[in-house]
Amino acid sequence: MKKTLFAALAFFLLTGTSILSAEETKSGETDSFPWSIYVQTDLCYSPECRMLTGGTHYAPITGIYASFLCRTTLHADYTLNTPLGEHWLLSDANLVAGAAFELTPVSIKPYAYLSFTPLPFLEFHASAHAGSAWTFFGKNGMEKYNAASGEYEALTFGKDWYLKASAGATFQFDTGAIWEGDWTHVVTLATYTLSYTTLTGVEDKTPWSWQAISHYMNGLNYDWYFVLGYRLPYKLNIVGVGLELYGYFDGQFDSAYEKFDGTFMTAELSPLAAMVLDEKNSFNMQFTFKTRRSFLEEHENSETSKELLLTKSGTEWFFDSFAFRWTYKF
Distance separating alpha carbons of residues 293 and 260, to the nearest angstrom = 8
For position 33, what pLDDT does the model report?
81
**Neighbour tally for 63: CB within 10 Å:** 10
Q: Are the CB atoms for 193 and 222 separated by under 8 Å?
A: yes
For position 258, what pLDDT does the model report?
86
For position 8, what pLDDT does the model report?
44
Distance separating alpha carbons of residues 90 and 174, to the nearest angstrom = 17
Q: Are the CB atoms for 201 and 160 separated by under 8 Å?
A: yes
Q: Are the CB atoms for 3 and 44 separated by under 8 Å?
A: no
Strand pairing category for 57-59 and 312-329: parallel
* Full pLDDT tens readout for the chain, 330 residues: 444 444 444 444 444 444 334 334 444 444 568 999 999 999 999 999 999 999 999 999 999 999 999 999 999 999 999 888 777 778 789 999 999 999 999 999 999 999 999 999 999 999 999 999 999 988 999 999 999 999 999 999 999 999 999 999 999 999 998 898 999 999 999 999 999 999 998 998 899 999 989 999 999 999 999 999 999 999 999 999 999 999 999 877 877 888 999 999 999 999 999 999 999 999 999 999 999 999 999 999 999 999 999 999 999 999 999 999 999 999
For position 12, what pLDDT does the model report?
47
Backbone angles phi, psi at 14, to 5 degrees: -80, -30
Q: Are the CB atoms for 55 and 48 separated by under 8 Å?
A: no
